[in-house]
Amino acid sequence: MMENIKIREALAEDAEQIIAYTKLVGGETENLTFGESGFPITLEQEEKFLKHVHDDKTSVHLIACKNGEIIGNGSLSGLPRRMSHRAELGLTVKKDYWNLGIGSMLMKKLIEYAKENGIEIINLEVRNDNLNAIHLYEKFGFKHIGTSPAYIKINGYYADFELMYLDLR
């Protein structure tokens, strides 16, 4: 299962596969802020976005690939102005590959990137019953800030999210 898995930065040429991957993982879980429709973004917008992320030191988009197929992604999105010391983290792994350490591999590389590029605080939001994700974040030293009630609404059901952060100062 773990043979031939490579983690690399996403490039503009990966845009089409990333759009398809986002819809796939959105449909596999109710833990994310999006579902099977993914994001309303065109191929051109996604390509432009990936180029911007590549050029921006406070942002990065990593993908885990197995034999050319995307099976995981991890991102840091830098914030502007007086928040430019902080970045927001996103992490997903394709369901067939959960609990094999791929999320941890991506997280390790994101933290390395943050340290090398002067990101001081990593923030994230995670559904509070998403125990494997919370376990992973705590394992890497993330601390709980508090709970944001009714953070997402799915078919009339409200789910609370934990706000967490990692202080790299």
Ligand X SMILES: CC(C)(COP(=O)(O)OP(=O)(O)OC[C@H]1O[C@@H](n2cnc3c(N)ncnc32)[C@H](O)[C@@H]1OP(=O)(O)O)[C@@H](O)C(=O)NCCC(=O)NCCS
Q: Which is nearer to ligand X, 4 or 81 (CB)?
A: 4
List strands edge to edge, sheet with 157-167.
5-9, 60-66, 69-78, 86-93, 121-127, 157-167, 143-154
Q: Which is nearer to ligand X, 47 or 110 (CB)?
A: 110
- Residue 141 binds to ligand X (criterion: CB under 6 A): no
Q: Please give the backbone phi and psi of residue 33, each rounded to the nearest 5 degrees, phi first.
A: -85, 0
Segment 89 to 118, residues that bind ligand X, using CB under 6 A: 91-93, 98-104
Residue count of the chain: 169
Q: In the bound complex, what is the minimum distance in angstroms from residue 135's beta carbon to ligand X?
A: 3
Q: In the bound complex, what is the minimum distance in angstroms from residue 30's beta carbon to ligand X?
A: 9
Provide the token pair at 52: 């911007």
Q: Which is nearer to ligand X, 12 or 128 (CB)?
A: 128
Q: Please, what is the Cα angle at 108 between 73 and 68, to 5 degrees? A: 35
- Residue 139 binds to ligand X (criterion: CB under 6 A): yes
Q: In the bound complex, what is the minimum distance in angstroms from residue 44's beta carbon to ligand X?
A: 27
- Residue 32 binds to ligand X (criterion: CB under 6 A): yes
- Residue 123 binds to ligand X (criterion: CB under 6 A): no
| Whole-number Cα distances in Å, 61 to 7, 32, 130 | 10, 17, 22
Distance, in Å, from the CA atom of 124 to the CA atom of 144, rounded to the nearest integer, reads: 10
Please give the residue ranges that form the binding site for ligand X (CB under 6 A).
Answer: 29, 31-32, 91-93, 98-104, 124, 126, 130-133, 135-136, 139
